[in-house]
Structure 1
């Protein structure tokens, strides 16, 4: 078990309306967006402030995300995602999305706590400073 606190690694807006979201965060926070495509062909926008990555926007699509409202997801860095999932279940939580590899990023998972709140976990491929 790691002795240091988990680091916030990434903030991601999962939304049905990425154009409206980009406009909102551009005006509200001064973010710029760089469009990209994930390895599976999914559209994604990297958010930058003053040239520094601050998060991203993921477009929700049907049927995979049917019924899920737009929401922010925070990813916490873990050293071993399989171990973190096991500990989440041992603590009474559940694995919402089992670990999967996103090339160039790392292994990601989504777990739920005993009250139903969800959090993203990431075992990063490469070390980099966490977002603040």
Structure 2
């Protein structure tokens, strides 16, 4: 069961998914599968044995100019829309409004009061 308020998923945003895959396979023993992303591109799912552990995708397009490669963390929340209203009321900033990923959940990207970027998501299994 997914709990509200806990770190739920991590995603590597990289310019070279092939190089990243080789690194994590050789260093951590991860294996990989791929799935198409809405709007184009490929999402790489990393697993350790049978357990999914992270995702990767290529940072392509001008909106990633100047953005360093990084890991993005996602926190599970009970209702992303309501929680974003609270975040904004307490000094947070919405960077990408909520969007749905079929079979995964509802996701938004925000900055906290100090400017730290993170994702908040209501995973499908939490939706009521």
Question: TM-score, normalising length from structure 2?
Answer: 0.89
Q: Give the total of aligned pairs.
A: 124
SS at match of 1:27: helix
Asked if the contact 1:37–1:44 (Cα under 8 Å) also holds between the matched residues in 2, the reply is yes
* Unpaired segments ≥5 residues, structure 2: none
SS at match of 1:95: strand
Matched, 1:67 2:66: yes
> Which of 20-29 and 59-68 deviates more?
59-68
Asked if the contact 1:39–1:103 (Cα under 8 Å) also holds between the matched residues in 2, the reply is no
Matched, 1:42 2:49: no
Q: Which residue of 1 aligns with 2:116?
A: 117
Question: TM-score, normalising length from structure 1?
Answer: 0.87
Alignment of 1:96-107 (within 5 A): 96-107=95-106
Q: Which residue of 2 aligns with 1:130?
A: none
* Unpaired segments ≥5 residues, structure 1: 128-132
Q: Distance in 2 between matches of 1:39 and 1:29?
A: 29
Asked if the contact 1:45–1:56 (Cα under 8 Å) also holds between the matched residues in 2, the reply is yes
Instruction: Give the alignment's Cα RMSD to 1 decimal.
Output: 1.4
SS at match of 1:126: helix
Deviation at residue 68 of structure 1 after TM alignment: 1.5
SS at match of 2:22: helix
Q: Distance in 1 between matches of 2:66 and 2:101?
A: 24
Q: Distance in 1 between matches of 2:50 and 2:30?
A: 9
Q: Distance in 2 between matches of 1:54 and 1:32?
A: 10
Q: Distance in 2 between matches of 1:5 and 1:103?
A: 20
Q: Which residue of 1 aligns with 2:56?
A: 57
Question: Greater helix percent: which structure?
Answer: 2
